[in-house]
Amino acid sequence: MKLSQKLAKLLLAIIAFSAPSLAGDAYQTYCASCHGAAGAGNLSLGAPNLTLLSSAYLTRQLRGFREGWRDTTDPYTQAMSAAVAALDAGVVAEAVLAIEKLPDSREISPAKPAARNTDRGADLYTAYCGACHGTNAGGNDALGAPSLLGLDASYLVRQYRHFSEGRRGFHADDRYGKQMIRLSRLLKEPSLIDDVSAYVAQLSQ
């Protein structure tokens, strides 16, 4: 077992032992230390805002972390995979239900993003992303496309590149990931990915 996996499991054990009882709220016990008590995320930990993601999407992604749908060479992915692996299915389901009850938040990290061409990003989003993720990036569960609102640009860039590099969407059971991995190859130039991500982050403001 890798050291980071051991540390993640140790952290979970400490949190479970020390966290106050919150009416059996698995989210507060196991997730809030990274994603925040309100679920709005933590940029410094690479932990995204969860409050605008649907229960269907969250359930699918947590299953994916448990079953190896993502390449764990990325340290954020490795830590999340190890953390979820230590939880049983009942706890994971309880955490998703708790997230569903959190107030929606479009809070984005106050860190100032680098200047990007958001006009070009808007055109690219309309051309390549809007059909699935929606005109205003609110997502579409019927297409397996999550909401992109409330997610900071650096997180969006990282995930897009994971798809384009084949680090997400490669697993046989990741149906919607396979769809995204094909579409992600439409934008090959890093600056274009940055522009689209900056535009989407701007929609949350």
Same domain, 54 and 144: no
Long-range contacts of 80-89 (CB under 8 A, 24+ apart): 82/2, 82/4, 82/5, 82/8, 82/9, 83/8, 83/9, 83/11, 83/12, 83/30, 85/5, 86/8, 86/9, 86/12, 87/12, 87/26, 87/30
Residue 171, domain extent: 118-203
Same domain, 96 and 134: no
Q: What are the Cα distances from residue 93, in Å, to 62, 103, 114, 119?
A: 9, 18, 37, 40
Closest CA to 169 of 159, 181, 155: 181
**Residue 72 resides in a domain:** yes
CA-to-CA distance for 86 and 200, rounded, in angstroms?
33
Model pLDDT, residue 115: 78
The enclosing domain of 64 has a CATH number of 1.10.760.10
**Residue 110 resides in a domain:** no
Model pLDDT, residue 106: 84
**Residue 154 resides in a domain:** yes
| Tens digit of pLDDT at every position of the chain (205 positions) | 454 444 444 444 444 433 433 335 899 999 999 999 999 999 889 999 999 999 999 999 999 999 999 999 999 999 999 999 989 999 999 999 999 999 999 876 655 556 799 999 999 999 999 999 999 999 999 999 999 999 999 999 999 999 999 999 999 999 999 999 999 999 989 999 999 999 999 998 7
Cβ atoms of 196 and 164 closer than 8 Å: no
What total number of domains does the chain contain? 2
